[in-house]
Amino acid sequence: MNCWKKARELVFLICRKEELKRDNDLVKQLKSAALSVMNNIAEGFGRISDKEFIRFLDFSEGSAQEVRSITYVLIDLNYIDEKEFRLLQTKVESTRNLVLGLIKYLRNKNK
């Protein structure tokens, strides 16, 4: 599933950031949100109905928005530079768009 693969790439980008080790609280929140994007996709996929899958995809999309918000804090605190910020923003947006596309597909499939 493409949205899960993109979410996995996002988690990798975040978890490898050495600079984040300076701020344990922020790192926990960021990693938790990024993992939530990926894990809610996986958990929803394992559900019986598309309605339940969509519910978990909605959670995933919300977590992606949280990651996006935290990336602004990262750049404001100079934990990342502009290039890394744009990379994270692009990765979050592409992941989010895939999740939203899957939600749209599942909703239309059941009409």
Least confident piece of the model among 75-79, 87-91, 94-98? 75-79
CB count within 10 Å of CB 74 equals: 22
Q: Average pLDDT for residues 9-26, to the nearest whole number?
A: 70
Asked if residues 103 and 56 have their Cβ atoms less than 8 Å apart, the reply is no
Q: Provide the CATH number for the domain formed by 2-11+23-109 in this structure.
A: 1.20.1440.60
List CB contacts of 21: < 8 A, sequence separation 6 or more: 27
Q: What is the pLDDT of residues 40-77, one digit of tens each?
A: 999 999 998 999 999 999 999 999 999 999 998 888 88
Kindly report the length of the chain.
111
Q: What is the mean pLDDT of residues 2-9?
A: 76
How many helices, marked H, and strands, marked E, lie in the chain? 4, 0
- Residue extents of the structural domains in the chain: 2-11+23-109
